[in-house]
Amino acid sequence: MKVLITGGGGFIGYRLALALLNKGTLSNAEGQQEPISQITLFDMAFPENVDARLKCVKGDLNDIACVETALGGDTGAVFHLASVVSGGAEADFELGYKVNLDGTRGLLDASRKQAKPPRFVFTSSVAVFGGELPEVLDDGTTPNPQGSYGAQKVICEYLVTDYSRKGYIDGRSLRLPTISVRPGKPNLAASSFASGIIREPLNGVPSVCPVGRDAKIWLLSPGKVIEALIHAYELPSSTWGVTRVINLPGNTAVVG
Ligand SMILES: NC(=O)c1ccc[n+]([C@@H]2O[C@H](COP(=O)([O-])OP(=O)(O)OC[C@H]3O[C@@H](n4cnc5c(N)ncnc54)[C@H](O)[C@@H]3O)[C@@H](O)[C@H]2O)c1
């Protein structure tokens, strides 16, 4: 089975690729474990010293010809992680919609052209929620995004569900909470501080927390999000039925 990971050069995408290399197989439509024959990473940038077993295709999600080349016509598994992150999509309205909405739509249409409908995992976000919220959010809580990024994610959830209803893909959207601790430098995500307040002091670097001690954050570790992505992928289509969107579990902590 061929696997494509968009955003495969990123924080979660590259870790997912290494986990899939280690696993070696993925469940197919018949529920049998099928050997992974190739993992292609699609991204605009890659880490140094990428594992030689991975194929890297450098390109922009909005370049459909490049996306189609990366898919190659016979990809059975698509993990769609490429995205302009929350703060970036809020700061650059045009770029956010272009990549997060138009890019996803283009990828979905390219996925339709595969020999068989691929299984398609989309990384949505808890940023789809906002406004007045209940104490506990569940899969039935109505999304009410208060930013462009959350709006783009919830629109794409509907696209993934509708393309699945039509049988063009076998899609699943996972709403990721904040993944912490993210290594490296701070990024443009609004929740970047959730890693920064742990990572920077460990490196002897000061970190300014932009929210109060009582601010709640819904957290999941890098290891657990990779497990969840693979688990959600492997669940049979019948498990999902008409509901193609779930919130990933996590722990809620206050900054203090
Ligand atoms: N990390 C989190 O806390 C978190 C929380 C909620 C949702 N998510 C979602 O999970 C996914 C992965 O997140 P991450 O933390 O690994 O982010 P990341 O920024 O590390 O990786 C995203 C990758 O997408 C690539 N990309 C951006 N625009 C592109 C374009 N036009 N064409 C091709 N590639 C492009 C970037 O180069 C980057 O490598 C994203 O969809 C994100 O919205 C992440």
Chain segment 188-198, per-residue pLDDT in tens: 888 999 999 99
* Six-digit token string for 38: 């190739």
In sequence order, the β-bridge partners of residue 172 are 121
| Distance in Å, CA 81 to ligand 1 centroid | 5
Domain count for the chain: 1
In whole angstroms, give the CA distance from residue 26 to residue 234. Answer: 7
99 Cβ below 6 A of ligand 1: yes
Look up the domain containing 237 and give its range.
2-176+220-249
Residue 255 lies in a domain: no
Taking a C-beta distance cutoff of 8 angstroms, is the pair 155, 131 a contact? no
**Which residue shows structure tokens 């909405």?**
101
| Distance in Å, CA 30 to ligand 1 centroid | 30
Residue 36 lies in a domain: yes
**pLDDT number for residue 95:** 98
12 Cβ below 6 A of ligand 1: yes
Residue 196 lies in a domain: no
In whole angstroms, give the CA distance from residue 173 to residue 194. Answer: 23
**pLDDT number for residue 41:** 98
7 Cβ below 6 A of ligand 1: yes
The CATH number assigned to the domain holding 28 equals 3.40.50.720
Q: Tell whether pTM > 0.95.
A: yes
In whole angstroms, give the CA distance from residue 40 to residue 20. Answer: 11
Residue 210 lies in a domain: no
| Distance in Å, CA 10 to ligand 1 centroid | 6
Residue 199 lies in a domain: no
Residue 100 lies in a domain: yes
**pLDDT number for residue 64:** 97
Q: Whose CA is nearest to atom 34 of ligand 1?
A: 43
- Tell me the average confidence (pLDDT) per consecutive run of 10 residues in the chain, 256 residues long: 98 98 96 97 97 98 98 97 95 98 98 96 97 92 97 98 98 97 91 93 94 94 98 96 93 93
Residue 241 lies in a domain: yes
| Distance in Å, CA 85 to ligand 1 centroid | 6
149 is catalytic: yes
Catalytic residue among 14, 149, 163, 233: 149
110 Cβ below 6 A of ligand 1: no
**pLDDT number for residue 241:** 85
Q: Whose CA is nearest to atom 26 of ligand 1?
A: 82
Which of 122, 128, 110 lies closest to 61 in space, CA to CA?
110
Residue 254 lies in a domain: no
Q: Whose CA is nearest to atom 19 of ligand 1?
A: 10
